[in-house]
Structure 1
Amino acid sequence: MTLSIRPARVEERGALGALKLRSSLAWGDHVEELQAIPEAREVPAAHLPYVAVADRSGQIFGFVTVLPGDTADRAELEDLFVAPEAWRMGIGSLLLAEAERRAKALGTQALEVVADERARPFYEASGFRFDGTVQTDLAPAIRLRKDIS
């Protein structure tokens, strides 16, 4: 599958939100909670300048959001979602590489992500290291960090 990675467009916010929710629900965890909270299906307009999409012929297969961190030396991987029908096709890895590129462009030295334990092998295979646990609105999660300098 030949994909291009490009900036998100304003008119794609709805499609990105729908993909985010569909991808989140595909695991079968926290279904009722996810369906009830607006954040599970939204990509804030303020985040759009930081969103890159994986696209083939106008169809979006995934997206990643990299935000400046709380300090100048790190960036936050806010979202990384791939359409469930395209899982295990390398799209997540392409988007993660784009996230690292974007974090470097922000001038940061590290990229951090808060993720479900299921995602840990994916991130660790890409060089992220466990950096603690955090409590999210839905459940405990892990924080991972990768030095990118």
Structure 2
Amino acid sequence: MMSLAEGFGPTVSIRPARVEDRDALGALKLRSSLAWGDHVEALLAMPGAREVPAAHLPYVAIAELAGEIVGFVTVLPGDDAARAELEDLFIAPEAWRKGIGTRLVAEAERRAKTLGAQTLEVVAGERARPFYETSGFRFAASVQTDLASAVRLEKDLC
């Protein structure tokens, strides 16, 4: 477990996901997605908005604060060995703007390198794009998601 204390009273730690975390991760994913108030009806109707696939669990890192899950990131191997995909990054709304997302992006980069990737990719909506660009990601392409137009961003890991 890597300890992360910057900006927090209690220590934030990062750990691998466990099977028993799956329901809590799904609930956090939905709660975080709904917090902006965008696409509420569509999100509530999408089963994928409230679940983390079991096959993804080996690729999930969890941020905990005082024993509570406050965020997670999923990094999947890409279609080619040189790329990895930052699939999910969700932070509990009450923990936004406390550095947890930045720490989870750093963990995502570390995990992507462990997978042998030289580039980390992410699809980001309008609200998330500035965060990723501040984290060093650059525009690669415009894309369409199930909910809205978005961008594919990438970051070199070399």
Query: Structure 2-normalised TM-score?
Result: 0.93
User: How many equivalent pairs are there?
Assistant: 149
C-alpha RMSD of the superposition: 0.7
Does 2:118 match 1:109? yes
| Residue number in structure 2 paired with 1:55 | 64
- Which protein is richer in helix relative to its size? 1
Counterpart mapping for 1:1-149 below 5 A? 1=8, 2-149=11-158
Q: Secondary structure at the match of 1:117?
A: coil
**Seq. identity, %:** 77
| Residue number in structure 1 paired with 2:3 | none
CA drift of 1:111 comes to 0.2
Tell me the distance in 1 between the aligned counterparts of 2:25 and 2:128.
20
The amino acid across from 1:144 in the alignment is: L
Tell me the distance in 2 between the aligned counterparts of 1:57 and 1:139.
35
Task: Give the unaligned 5+ runs of structure 2.
Answer: 1-7
Which segments of structure 1 move beyond 2 Å, counting only runs of 4 or more?
A: none
Query: Structure 1-normalised TM-score?
Result: 0.98
Q: Secondary structure at the match of 2:107?
A: helix
Tell me the distance in 2 between the aligned counterparts of 1:126 and 1:19.
23
Tell me the distance in 2 between the aligned counterparts of 1:141 and 1:120.
9
